[in-house]
Copies of this chain bind each other. A is one copy, B any other.
């Protein structure tokens, strides 16, 4: 009896998605041909098309993996850096700074993907939008736990996300000007916004 039916639990499939994640991140989606992924992954072309119906499906699998890994690492990192929600809102920007310092940093894969796949109803673009929604939801929950009311928590979360996305983009486009600076400037701005939104909330309020 053969356990690992596609699409799950195949070593070759994993290698494909892993390689796709790396190459699509580094070189772009249209600019990276299937053949280069196959060569780098050490997998035959027919194997790819037994696991995925098209290049688009491979891209979607790579984006799913990236979303899962990125948010896990981000949330775990934030929760490790600070224990109270208010501190965690600030710690997000230290986590970003770490990410930017990675020599392989190539910006946000979802921003990059939605730049190449403009149509909103395209599954790739939809996956990018969903990723951003999930990140913002996490920030909003932190803001709520920190004591921001409604709609304050939603607005604060949106504003902190704007700072984060801006830092990601500027570090991608102008790394030499912003490598270390964008995250720091964003963190300082975030501190002000958080203090303002949480004015009157006692420090270290009922943490989760």
The reply on A185 being an interface residue by CB < 8 A is yes
The reply on A59 being an interface residue by CB < 8 A is no
Cα-based distance from A165 to B107 in the complex (angstroms): 13
B185 touching A118, Cβ below 8 Å: no
B166 touching A161, Cβ below 8 Å: yes
The reply on A46 being an interface residue by CB < 8 A is no
B162 touching A162, Cβ below 8 Å: yes
The reply on A30 being an interface residue by CB < 8 A is yes
Q: How far is the CB of A164 from chain B (nearest CB, A)?
A: 7
Known A-B contacts A28-B118, A116-B115, A118-B28; the reply to A162 vs B155 at CB < 8 A is: no
The reply on A15 being an interface residue by CB < 8 A is no
Find chain B residues with CB under 8 A from A169 CB. Answer: 111, 165-166, 168-169
Looking across the interface, which residue of chain B has its beta carbon closest to that of A25?
A: B118
Give the segment of A34-42, A62-70, A75-83, A172-180 that binds chain B: A172-180
Known A-B contacts A107-B115, A115-B107, A133-B177; the reply to A188 vs B159 at CB < 8 A is: yes
B118 touching A26, Cβ below 8 Å: yes
Known A-B contacts A30-B28, A165-B170; the reply to A159 vs B189 at CB < 8 A is: yes
Find chain B residues with CB under 8 A from A188 CB. Answer: 155, 159
Cα-based distance from A172 to B103 in the complex (angstroms): 27
Find chain B residues with CB under 8 A from A174 CB. Answer: 129, 132-133
Find chain B residues with CB under 8 A from A100 CB. Answer: none
Q: Which chain A residues have a beta carbon within 8 Å of chain B's beta carbons?
A: 26-28, 30-31, 106-107, 110-112, 114-118, 120, 125, 128-129, 132-133, 155, 158-159, 161-170, 172-178, 181-182, 185-186, 188-189, 192-193, 196
